[in-house]
Amino acid sequence: DTGVSQNPRHKITKRGQNVTFRCDPISEHNRLYWYRQTLGQGPEFLTYFQNEAQLEKSRLLSDRFSAERPKGSFSTLEIQRTEQGDSAMYLCASSLGSGVSNQPQHFGDGTRLSIL
Amino acid sequence: AQTVTQSQPEMSVQEAETVTLSCTYDTSESDYYLFWYKQPPSRQMILVIRQEAYKQQNATENRFSVNFQKAAKSFSLKISDSQLGDAAMYFCAYRRVDNAGNMLTFGGGTRLMVKP
């Protein structure tokens, strides 16, 4: 168990640029989640995959955000035309689950995005 | 929609003493899970303890225990014999028990400081 891995750890970019983050879940986990955490707040749910299918999307996920999980392994989160308000920590988590049964989620270290 | 409230932004405890962190939640569901997660500075979030709502017995994990009051929708975390390594942000979280509710809803967090 190597844990959930996220890259990069930090990303600094200018407003209007596109950014992409990657998450590698724990290998046997079929469920993958993206959360956003702003400074001093709790994480907020963005989206959820079961295998390669994106099953849930939060209203926070505007049309500038897109997430993929090809082949049900790693996932990418892309933000287009970044805005100041996108500055946050982006957390990825994974779990093993089937139907309503779900093991606890394991979190990665996160990617901290700073918009200049 | 479910909401989770942590009314204590910061708490302080003397090393070896006991501290209780508060959490209340709002839901119309009868079955759900509740969690406490710990997030040390610049480190990943880790699960401390979880409680299934259908279980009346309070969960315990070594020095960590919960006081789950379902009717009051209260879920507090007690840390006994506090250690310096317990210093962190603590987040209370809620999850429904159905296929559509795999995501976690977090509270705003409580920063715990441990004094030597």
| Inter-chain residue contact A104 with B107, CB threshold 8 Å | no
**Cis, bond preceding A8 (omega within 30 deg of 0):** yes
Distance to chain A for B81, nearest Cα, Å: 26
The residues with which B23 forms a beta bridge, in sequence order, are none
* Contacts A–B by Cβ distance under 8 A: 57
Q: In chain B, whose CA is at the least distance from the CA of A106?
A: B46
A100 has pLDDT over 70: no
| Inter-chain residue contact A91 with B106, CB threshold 8 Å | no
CA–CA dist B22, B26 (Å, integer): 14
Distance to chain A for B3, nearest Cα, Å: 11
pLDDT band at A2 (very low <50, low <70, confident <90, very high): confident
Asked if B4 has any chain A CB less than 8 Å from its own CB, the reply is yes
CA–CA dist A6, A74 (Å, integer): 10
Q: In chain A, whose CA is at the least distance from the CA of B107?
A: A42
Q: Which tokens in the block code for residue B31?
A: 């079955």
The single residue listed with the structure tokens 């093991």 is A103
Work out the mean pLDDT of chain B and round it to a whole number: 93
Spell out which residues of chain A touch residue B91, defining contact as CB-CB under 8 Å: 42-43
- Interval A12-41: pLDDT, tens: 999 999 999 999 999 989 999 999 999 889
- Interval B5-44: pLDDT, tens: 999 999 999 999 999 999 999 999 888 999 999 999 878 8
- Quickly count: other Cβ atoms within 10 Å of residue B22's Cβ: 17
- Interval A42-52: pLDDT, tens: 999 999 999 99
pLDDT band at B101 (very low <50, low <70, confident <90, very high): low
| Inter-chain residue contact A109 with B43, CB threshold 8 Å | yes
